[in-house]
Amino acid sequence: MKAFAYVSAPDVATAVRAIATEPRAKFIGGGTNLVDLMREDIERPDTVVDISGIALTGVEELAGGGVRIGAMVRNSHLAAHPLIRSRYPVLAQAILAGASGQLRNMATVGGNILQRTRCPYFYDRAAACNKREPGSGCDAFGGFTRNHAVLGGSESCIAAHPSDMCVALAALDAVVEVESVRGVRRIPLVEFHRLPGATPHVETDIAADELITAVELPALPVATTSRYRKVRDRASYAFALVSVAAALEVQHGTVATVRLALGGVGAKPWRAHEAERLLLGAAPTEESFRRAAAAELAPAVAQPHNAFKIELAERTIVATLAQLLAAGGAA
Amino acid sequence: MRVNGAVQSLEVEPRVSLLDVLREHLGLTGTKKGCNQGACGACTVLVDGERINSCLALAVQYAGREITTIEGVATGGQAHPLQEAFIRNDGFQCGYCTSGQICSAIGMLAEHRAGAPSAVTEHLAAEAVELSGAEIRERMSGNLCRCGAYNGIVESIQDVAAGHADVLAAAR
């Protein structure tokens, strides 16, 4: 690992001032992704600004019924929090489906949102990767593509977004708050991550000098009937092949409210807008679930090793919605 | 930082991991380096009672914290109940993952006692979760054992969870 200068920031103002004056600086929270990437020589900051001591550690109920989550809240603490378990179970389940107990104790909410892809060609400095080195090409094409995206990819990059937590946040209409010396911005989670297009190295809407300070969840009564379902190559401690975050409310025999997002298949956390549009007002039957899932996956582009993800995603959507229906979505 | 109860004053480069500080600077080689990328759990230690992967931790970020390694889990010359249970139940073969398994299990049992759910917990809103074999396997999935001693590991943890909660509290 390349040597770097270390700055410990006691508060947000100090942190954003420190990063504003250092062009090749990075924030470090839990370090579970950044330390690994630095050891692999993929991230090479000159300065690391430690934000792990900043007191952005609250999980607070907002006046309108939403919840504000500090960016330094550890993943494990958020998943265990009573407000999240009771009102947004899909978020608790998504976090618990990711990584391991040890990593969840280290990883922060802000860091989880900014974690980078686990595409093996991104990690392998001997391979071509437009994300790591713009214009160098992409060795995933023609390579081993079992874990790659089928939605939202481009000719430059088909890396899948790795986060479970972000899939739930996408379904829940979460808003990310960022701060810099220039002020505070609020970005909807579904607009926070960018599709690769011709610039896969630009992964998010956040500027290099902006710090994630909080995530806000709106009041969302339907989220009490929500669920995260993850399909992977082993039973635990593996990234998703396919995952589904869903919330469902049925009234008078039709779908009154639905939230649906996909993981493992998308170049970013994938909010399933098309499926939601078709489901809204439809009868909650397996047939309509299947039609909505197929419509969402219709634009999918498969590679030789990941074509199975399209049908797997459709089936997982149908199964998750059926589970929610049985669990009280019809209440 | 305090390591196994003793204050340690160290000067290290910011890029040095907590794992390397423990092993190379303090000579506490009970904590193992397996993958050095957060995938195997052999480096698991407790920080203020919570389990973490020390390989992905920059030591400088843990200044002032209380670190417990496998060398610090016994009390007064008496092996930790989990250490005894691992011997009794054949919870290892080669032993390389064992210190991480035991530190992880101590942290995991504390998480369970505090009411934390897991990915296999069906009723998330329930305050208490029964620590079944499936719960233990899920909660311990961050610790790999290439010898495949998982049955003995799960039995060891079940033994201790059933009978020695008070001793576990003392070991934190």
- Boundary residue ending a domain (A20, A37, A53): A53
> Which residue ranges does chain B devote to CATH 3.10.20.30?
2-72
Option in A28, A85, A235 nearest B125 (CB):
A85
In a domain, A66, yes or no: no
Q: Summarize chain B as % helix, strand, coil (round to 5).
A: 40, 10, 50
Option in B60, B115, B142 nearest A102 (CB):
B142
Q: What are phi and psi of A7, to 5 degrees?
A: -125, 130
Cβ-based neighbours of A47, under 8 Å, separated by 6 or more:
A4, A5, A6, A7, A18, A22, A24, A25, A26
> In this complex, do B142 and A36 lie within 8 Å of one another by their Cβ atoms?
no
Calpha distance A150→A267 (Å, rounded): 8
Residues in chain A closer than 8 A to B137 (CB atoms): 235-236
Calpha distance A164→A261 (Å, rounded): 10
In a domain, A204, yes or no: no
Average pLDDT score over residue span A199-211: 97
Residues in chain B closer than 8 A to A80 (CB atoms): 111, 114-117
Q: Which amino acid is at B112?
A: H
Element (H, E) at B143: none
- Give how far B34 is from chain A: nearest CA, Å: 14
- Boundary residue ending a domain (A36, A53, A70): A53
Question: In this predicted structure, what is the pLDDT of residue B98?
Answer: 98
> In this complex, do B117 and A4 lie within 8 Å of one another by their Cβ atoms?
no
Please determine, for residue A329, whether its predicted confidence score (pLDDT) is greater than 70: no
- Listed residue (A175, A180, A183) closest to A215, CA to CA: A175
Indicate which of B20, B67, B124 best probes the interface with A, i.e. most A CBs within 10 Å of its own CB: B124
* CATH number of residue A246's parent domain: 3.30.390.50
Residues 29-88 of B with CB under 8 A from A: 36-38, 41, 44, 50-53, 56-58, 60-61
Calpha distance A100→B3 (Å, rounded): 24
> Which residue ranges does chain B devote to CATH 1.10.150.120?
81-171
Residues in chain A closer than 8 A to B37 (CB atoms): 36, 39
Calpha distance B160→A139 (Å, rounded): 49
User: Parallel, antiparallel, or unpaired: how do β-strands A5-8 and A25-28 relate?
Assistant: unpaired
Please determine, for residue A331, whether its predicted confidence score (pLDDT) is greater than 50: no
Calpha distance A88→A173 (Å, rounded): 12
DSSP at A74: B
Average pLDDT score over residue span A76-98: 98
> In this complex, do A6 and B51 lie within 8 Å of one another by their Cβ atoms?
no
Total count of domains within chain A: 2
What is the value of ipTM here, to two decimals?
Answer: 0.96
Indicate which of A96, A100, A230, A233 best probes the interface with B, i.e. most B CBs within 10 Å of its own CB: A100
Cβ-based neighbours of A41, under 8 Å, separated by 6 or more:
A1, A2, A125
> In this complex, do B15 and A2 lie within 8 Å of one another by their Cβ atoms?
yes
> In this complex, do A102 and B41 lie within 8 Å of one another by their Cβ atoms?
yes
Strands, sheet with A226-231, edge to edge from the N-terminal-most edge strand:
A226-231, A242-251, A254-263, A270-271
Domain hosting A234: range is 225-329
Answer yes or no: are the C-beta atoms of B103 and B45 closer than 8 Å: yes
Give the residue carrying structure tokens 């920059």: B58
**Above pLDDT 90, what percent of chain A?**
98
- Listed residue (A227, A248, A221) closest to A330, CA to CA: A248
pLDDT tens-digit map of A127-179? 999 999 999 999 999 999 999 999 999 999 999 999 999 999 999 999 999 99
* CATH number of residue A47's parent domain: 3.30.43
Answer yes or no: are the C-beta atoms of A241 and A309 closer than 8 Å: yes
Calpha distance B148→B32 (Å, rounded): 17
The encoded tokens of residue B137 equal: 């396997």
Option in A3, A80, A102 nearest B117 (CB):
A80
Question: In this predicted structure, what is the pLDDT of residue B125?
Answer: 85
Residue A331 at interface with chain B, using a CB cutoff of 8 Å: no
Residue B4 at interface with chain A, using a CB cutoff of 8 Å: no
Question: In this predicted structure, what is the pLDDT of residue A69?
Answer: 98
Answer yes or no: are the C-beta atoms of A282 and A254 closer than 8 Å: yes
Indicate which of A102, A231, A243, A323 best probes the interface with B, i.e. most B CBs within 10 Å of its own CB: A102
Exposed, middle or buried: residue B5 (CB in 10 Å: 0-12, 13-18, 19+)?
A: exposed
Question: B2-72 architecture in CATH?
Answer: Roll (3.10)
Question: In this predicted structure, what is the pLDDT of residue A91?
Answer: 98
Option in B15, B53, B118 nearest A102 (CB):
B53
Residues in chain A closer than 8 A to B44 (CB atoms): 102
In a domain, A97, yes or no: no
Exposed, middle or buried: residue A331 (CB in 10 Å: 0-12, 13-18, 19+)?
A: exposed
In a domain, A196, yes or no: no
**How many interface pairs between A and B have CB atoms less than 8 angstroms apart?**
106
Residue A93 at interface with chain B, using a CB cutoff of 8 Å: yes
Calpha distance B23→B9 (Å, rounded): 15
Q: Which residue of B has its CA nearest to A33?
A: B56
Calpha distance A111→B42 (Å, rounded): 23
> In this complex, do A76 and B53 lie within 8 Å of one another by their Cβ atoms?
no
Residue A55 at interface with chain B, using a CB cutoff of 8 Å: no
> In this complex, do B139 and A101 lie within 8 Å of one another by their Cβ atoms?
yes
In a domain, A268, yes or no: yes
pLDDT tens-digit map of A244-272? 999 999 999 999 999 999 999 999 999 99
Question: In this predicted structure, what is the pLDDT of residue B31?
Answer: 98
CATH 1.10.1050.10 fits B81-171, yes or no: no
DSSP at A122: H
- Boundary residue ending a domain (A53, A70, A90): A53
Please determine, for residue B165, whether its predicted confidence score (pLDDT) is greater than 50: no
> In this complex, do A102 and B36 lie within 8 Å of one another by their Cβ atoms?
no
pLDDT tens-digit map of B60-118? 999 999 999 999 999 998 999 999 999 999 999 999 999 999 999 999 999 999 999 99
Average pLDDT score over residue span B24-52: 98
- Listed residue (B158, B151, B21, B100) closest to A100, CA to CA: B100
Calpha distance A129→A15 (Å, rounded): 31
- Report the mean per-residue pLDDT for chain A: 97
Please determine, for residue B172, whether its predicted confidence score (pLDDT) is greater than 90: no
pLDDT tens-digit map of A105-125? 999 999 999 999 999 999 999
